[in-house]
Amino acid sequence: MSQEIEAGQGSERKGNRLSKIVTRTGDAGTTGLGDGSRTSKDSLRIDVIGEVDELNSAIGLLLCEELPPKVHSALLDIQHDLFDLGGELCLPGMAIMKDAQVARLEELADEFNAHLTMLKEFILPGGTRPAALAHLCRTICRRAERSMVRLHQAEAISEPARRYINRLSDLLFILGRTLNLAGGRGDVLWQKGKNAD
């Protein structure tokens, strides 16, 4: 969504398509929001939008891997949701995210988690390449959530948006474990004090 913010303000449009991407409107260090206002590129709102965009890009990288069809479908739907979230964030005061999107993540988490063994130890982010990428997505998601919490302290963000980003990090953790299982290996368990001696 952040690429739309940069290009959408002051650009020439044909229907709903951008016909001009390089606008030079951000050269002074500001960027346009969806409501037509401009804000500093280092504002907290732009930080959050950028982190959500980074998360979506990382999920796109994960989608380049060979994945179980159900995981692939879930991640593709999440990418669409993250564009909805970016749209909400670039329109201050707008609520786009819906409870149904949060509920879908919860259902997916329950469905994928049902096939996993109960965790008794902390796990390391790794194993197979797809699992490691899912964990990378999870950490980016957590960073976006932290920024969103800070933004919400100054400007209201809808409850579904805040709940969605929190549920998504949980689902990405579960998908990391799921992808290790699908790849024929188990979780990489943390060994406390392994190198302390």
Write the CATH number for 149: 1.20.1200.10
- What domain range includes position 59? 41-189
For residue 135, the model assigns a pLDDT of: 98
* Predicted pLDDT at 106: 98
Classify residue 34: in a domain, yes or no.
Answer: no
Tens of pLDDT along the chain (197 residues)?
444 444 333 333 344 455 676 667 556 676 666 676 776 667 888 899 999 999 999 999 999 999 999 999 999 999 999 999 999 999 888 899 999 999 999 999 999 999 999 988 899 999 999 999 999 999 999 999 999 999 999 999 999 999 999 999 999 999 999 999 999 998 988 888 888 88
Q: Give the per-residue pLDDT at 22.
A: 67
Q: List the beta bridge partners of residue 38.
A: 32
Q: What is the pLDDT of residue 7?
A: 37
Asked if 5 and 49 touch (Cβ cutoff 8 Å), the reply is yes
Q: Is residue 179 part of a domain?
A: yes
In 40-118, alpha helices (H): 44-62, 69-89, 99-113
Residue 36 lies in a domain: no
Q: How far is residue 98's CA from residue 197's CA, in Å, rounded to a whole number?
A: 51
Q: Does residue 8 lie in a domain region? A: no
pLDDT at 27: 66
Q: What pLDDT sits at residue 194?
A: 83
Q: pTM (2 decimals)?
A: 0.85
25 found inside a domain: no
Considering the domain boundaries, does residue 26 fall inside one? Answer: no
Which pLDDT value is given to residue 31?
A: 64
Q: Look at residue 136 and tell me if it is in a domain.
A: yes
Distance CA 161, CA 175 (A): 21
**Residue 41: its pLDDT value, please?**
66
What pLDDT score does 133 carry? 98
What domain count does the chain have? 1
Write the CA distances from 58 to 128, 154, 172, integer angstroms: 16, 28, 12
Residue 22 in any domain: the answer is no
